[in-house]
Amino acid sequence: MLSTLGTCYIRLGKTENAIENYKKACAGLNITKGMYKGTLLPDPYANLAFLYLTQSKFEDASEILEFLWQLGNETDPRIFYTYPEIGWYQLYKGDFVNSQNLLMTAFRTMKPNSFNIQWLILSLYLSGTLDHYKIDLYELLIESFPKFDTSTALQALLVANVLESNKQRKLHQKILADCYSDLRQIADELLLDYGFERLPLSTNAQISILMSLDYAVTGGKYYGVIRQSF
């Protein structure tokens, strides 16, 4: 009941009310190890964590997802591949390879959105496998986003930067077609000579995008790792 109320509040745009109801639902489920009338209910944990992440409350989200991680270990391992939030949790904990594997598996059965695609791209970069998965990311971006918002366009630039020939051209053209004016403004503010209009990206452009991405996803937890990679 509390979980259902939380979902209703989300649809009404009443985030704080939704959070309070999900918190109460999770507190009750903690007592019964995630079970309600014989049924496992992971949704309240994932929904609460997602709301915390939209508010940049990373530690709160991590604490909630610790319970969801335990449910996956102790009760139903399918949880690991059903909720992208688990992939974020592993990223936040520093297990970049496990994070990317969980997210890639989850996105085989559900389309990413402009919020959680960030988790995958950052985990792939931090694990050093962005180039290895560039074709998978290319297809995921083209198929999942009919039109990029500015944030997703910036992340897509990181992918386009490691692609070759026709795929690079196609993705780059889509990025510029969807978000050129916003990207030009960002480039001017960052004093980037060629902005994002040419590939390959300059080192400064890559660092700027990655640090902005890391701040949005973890609060800047991996700034040092990013800087050391260049």
Is the pLDDT at 5 greater than 60, yes or no?
no
The residue with tokens 């559900």 is: 110
Mean pLDDT calculated for residue range 15-44:
81
Look up the CATH number of domain 1-82.
Answer: 1.25.40.10
Residues 6+ apart with CB under 8 A from 216: 56, 118, 151
Mean pLDDT calculated for residue range 29-58:
87
Is the pLDDT at 153 greater than 80, yes or no?
yes
Residue 212: its H or E element:
helix 203-218
Return the percentage of the chain with pLDDT > 70, whole number.
93
Confidence of residue 191 (pLDDT cuts 50, 70, 90): confident
**What DSSP state is assigned to residue 182?**
H
For the purposes of burial, counting CB atoms within 10 Å of the CB of 71, is it exposed (0-12), middle (13-18) or buried (19 or more)? buried
From residue 183, alpha-carbon distances to 43, 89, 148, 178, 186 in Å are: 36, 30, 12, 10, 5
Kindly list the domain boundaries of the chain, sorted by start residue: 1-82, 111-230
- For residues 2 and 199, what is the distance between their CA atoms, to the nearest angstrom? 50
